[in-house]
Amino acid sequence: MVSGSRWPLQKNMIERRMKNTVLLMLCLPLSGCPIAMAYDVPNEPECVIDQCDEKTCSVETPEGWVDIVRQSYHEEGKKIVCPIWLIDPT
């Protein structure tokens, strides 16, 4: 009797690889995407233009008041991106 069949050995190896692959596929989404989490940047707060003169507008920011050069689209009560770069460090 010749026992040269390798089929049970190959079948066992294939089943182990399939189990490992399924386990990997189940665990991978649970790990999250670290690259996407690294670039999660909070939005800058919006500020409101309080008063406008002929050439400047006063903007209320979380850190205080800032005067900006008036543009054609600036009007009182309009929400804009806070000009944080104009705030003096305290």
Q: Are 48 and 59 in contact (CB under 8 A)?
A: yes
Closest residue by Cα to residue 50 from 73, 79, 72: 79
Rounded distance, CA 67 to CA 46, Å? Answer: 15
Where does the pLDDT of residue 52 fall: very low under 50, low under 70, confident under 90, or very high at 90 and above? very high
Q: Are 76 and 47 in contact (CB under 8 A)?
A: no
0.75 exceeded by the pTM? no
Name the more confident of 67 and 26: 67
pLDDT, tens digit (0-9, with 9 covering 90-100), for 13-34: 777 777 778 777 776 666 666 6
